[in-house]
């Protein structure tokens, strides 16, 4: 556990964020390994199928993580106030509600997979394998939710290292199973989906066992799972907007994927490769934002308002530092990154398409660093609804300009569309931040 109500903000934020960053990288590696192995051992059709399924599953996964992020802020406030019974009750209520929702999503996802693929206008030659892959991955949604919720409870009390260990194990397990079944036994892409679900279940099981043995003070009891309508409403007030905000992004990506599908299998394969790089750029920035949210929530719970603004400023340094790292890597290694996902003999134009995108996108990654910085601030201050508004504006502009620019500029047009959406989002966030700053710290803060 980490109490962030005393000591230097930058020290707390860095120590809290580093395990999250490593965890994000492992989670992304977990996903990228599937695509790399499928692309290199099976071919571009398998890489394309996973690329089409990814935004659909991200819609579910990011909705899950959004609810957990919001509930985690509520738990962090309770921990900052030293009220452990509130932490347990919030965790139990979130688990009860979320697992029911995930079961429903799994059933609906499996049933409506053919409709989803028709709406996405998936090329007929990869439709069948994409359908099977997507249905299997839907089965992992309850395990993903269980792990994310338990991890949110641990992170709310300052423990980011333990969830990292579980992610490390599940990532290694996933890669090992993929290499064995696809590389040694030469099974198809269906096996890749099964190994992903197995790894997700393993991380959830380990998180539950750890909490039972090491942190029973935050493990919900039977009484904590009882229906508590007022608490559930409060959790949804925090977690609902965050979940909706997280889900808006993949909805836009699904629509963008539909436009990419119209550009052919080579572009689909290239786009799957470069979006993995996008994930490495943007998702760890969310980890830094989460550390800021926890820091602000704990200090708000402890009534230490004088510590809020220094923490906000320290988080900006971390966000910009991460941008500098990922910008350099994406620009200098753009062709090598795309080649990772392709087997020898695949069309060289796939590499050229992906590298063209990354050449532009590398410098645009500063924009999501700033949007995540603001998002972490708003969540930590309990101002959840604004995150929905800003993300909605961003994704609407991003999707609209993708449809306008991609037919003319190809995959590079998608990068320009991202830049437009994020720039407008930052402008809106800054205006709202100035309002909160006046309310919380005074006009001269």
How far is the CA of 340 from the CAs of 234, 346, 355, in angstroms?
Answer: 45, 12, 12
Q: Is residue 437 part of a domain?
A: yes
160 vs 407: CA distance, rounded Å: 43
What is the reported pLDDT for 367?
94
Contact 98, 67 (CB under 8 A): yes
3-state secondary structure of 276: helix
On whether residue 426 sits in a domain, the answer given is yes
Q: Is the pLDDT of residue 427 over 60?
A: yes
Instruction: Give the pLDDT score at 38.
Output: 64
Residue 33: pLDDT over 70: no
Contact predicate 308/296, CB 8 Å: yes
Which tokens belong to 366? 């500063």
Q: What angle do CA 134, 140, 145 make, to 5 degrees?
A: 130
Q: Which range of residues forms the domain containing residue 90?
A: 9-441
How far apart are alpha carbons 83 and 85 in whole angstroms? 6
Most confident of 63-77, 114-128, 305-319, 390-404: 390-404
pLDDT of 435 above 60: yes
**One-character DSSP codes across 334-377:** HHHHHHTT--TTS-HHHHHHHHHHHHHHHHHTHHHHHHHHHHHH
Residue 335 in tokens:
């062709």
The verdict on residue 1 lying in a domain is: no
Residue 374 counted as domain residue: yes
- Contact criterion met (CB below 8 Å) for 326 and 32: no
Tell me how crowded residue 16 is: count the other CB atoms within 10 A of its CB: 23
Averaged pLDDT, 399-428: 91
Contact 247, 66 (CB under 8 A): yes
Of 340, 306, 212, the closest CA to residue 9 belongs to 306
Would residue 2 count as lying in a domain?
no
| pLDDT bracket for residue 444 (50, 70, 90) | very low
Residue 306 lies in a domain: yes
> What does the alpha-carbon distance between residue 445 and residue 441 come to, in Å, rounded to a whole number?
5
Report pLDDT digits (tens) over 42-56. 666 666 667 677 777
Copy the structure tokens of residue 364.
């645009």
Q: Is the pLDDT of residue 63 over 50?
A: yes
4 part of a folded domain: no
Residues ≥6 apart with Cβ < 8 Å to 106: 138, 139, 141, 142
The reply to whether 3 falls in a domain is no
pLDDT for the residue numbered 31: 66
Q: How many domains does the chain have?
A: 1
Give the length of the chain: 445
N- to C-terminal Cα separation, the chain: 31
Q: What percent of the chain has pLDDT over 70?
A: 87
């Amino acid at each position: 556990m980490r109490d962030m109500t005393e000591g230097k903000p930058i020290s707390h934020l860095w120590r809290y964020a580093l395990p999250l960053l490593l965890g994000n990288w492992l989670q992304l590696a977990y996903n990228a390994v599937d695509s790399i192995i499928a692309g290199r051992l099976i071919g571009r059709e398998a890489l394309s199928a996973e690329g089409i399924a990814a935004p659909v599953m991200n819609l579910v996964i990011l909705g899950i993580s959004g609810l957990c992020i919001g509930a985690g802020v509520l738990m962090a406030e309770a921990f900052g106030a030293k009220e452990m019974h509130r932490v347990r009750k919030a965790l139990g209520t979130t688990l009860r509600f979320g697992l029911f929702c995930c079961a429903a999503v799994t059933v609906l996802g499996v049933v409506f997979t053919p409709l989803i693929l028709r709406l996405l206008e998936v090329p007929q030659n990869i439709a069948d394998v994409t359908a099977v892959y997507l249905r299997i991955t839907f089965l992992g949604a309850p395990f993903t939710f269980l792990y994310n919720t338990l991890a949110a409870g641990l992170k709310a009390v300052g423990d980011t290292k333990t969830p990292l260990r579980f992610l490390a194990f599940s990532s290694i397990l996933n890669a090992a199973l993929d290499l064995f079944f696809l590389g040694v036994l030469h099974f198809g892409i269906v096996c890749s989906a099964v190994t992903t679900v197995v790894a997700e279940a393993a991380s959830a099981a380990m998180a539950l066992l750890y909490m039972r043995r090491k942190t029973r003070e935050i493990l919900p009891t039977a009484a904590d799972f009882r229906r508590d309508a007022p608490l559930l409403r409060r959790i949804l007030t925090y977690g609902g907007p965050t979940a909706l905000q997280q889900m808006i992004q993949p909805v836009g990506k699904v629509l963008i994927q539909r436009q990419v599908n119209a550009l052919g299998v080579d572009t689909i394969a290239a786009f799957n490769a470069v979006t993995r790089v996008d994930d490495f750029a943007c998702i760890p920035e969310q980890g830094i934002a989460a550390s800021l949210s926890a820091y602000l929530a704990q200090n708000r719970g402890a009534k230490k308002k004088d510590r809020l603004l220094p923490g906000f400023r320290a988080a900006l340094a971390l966000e910009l530092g991460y941008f500098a790292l990922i910008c350099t890597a994406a620009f200098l290694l753009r062709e090598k990154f795309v080649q990772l996902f392709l087997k020898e003999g695949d069309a060289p134009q796939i590499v050229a398409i992906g590298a063209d995108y990354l050449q532009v996108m590398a410098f645009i990654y500063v924009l999501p660093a700033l949007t995540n910085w603001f998002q972490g601030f708003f969540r930590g201050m309990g101002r959840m609804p604004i995150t929905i508004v800003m993300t909605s504006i961003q994704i609407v502009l991003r999707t609209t300009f993708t449809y306008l620019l991609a037919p003319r500029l190809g995959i590079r047009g998608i990068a320009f569309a991202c830049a437009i959406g994020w720039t407008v989002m930052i402008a809106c966030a800054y205006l709202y931040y100035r309002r909160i700053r006046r309310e919380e710290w005074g006009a001269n803060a």
